[in-house]
Amino acid sequence: DLAKARLAQTRIVSPADALVLERLAEPGQIVQAGTRLIELSIEGPVELIAQVDEKFLGQLATGQKAMVVADAFPQQPFAATVKSVAPAIDAQRGSVEVKFAMERAPAFLKNDMTLSLEIETARRANVIAVPGEAVRAGNVVLVIDGGKAVARTIKPGLRTLTAVEVIDGLKSGERVITDARVQEGARVHAGDPPKPTATSRVSTDVMKSF
Beta strands in the chain, from DSSP E residues, in sequence order = 18-23, 38-42, 47-53, 65-70, 73-85, 95-101, 115-119, 123-131, 140-145, 148-153, 155-159, 163-168, 200-208
Q: What percent of the chain has pLDDT over 70?
A: 90
Q: Residues 28-39: pLDDT tens digits?
A: 888 888 888 898
Give per-residue pLDDT as tens, 184-198: 999 987 664 444 344
15-19, 94-98, 178-182, 201-205: lowest mean pLDDT where?
201-205
Whether the predicted pLDDT of 207 surpasses 80: no
**Polymer length in residues for the chain:** 210
| pLDDT tens readout for residues 89-127 | 988 889 999 999 998 889 898 888 889 988 888 888 888
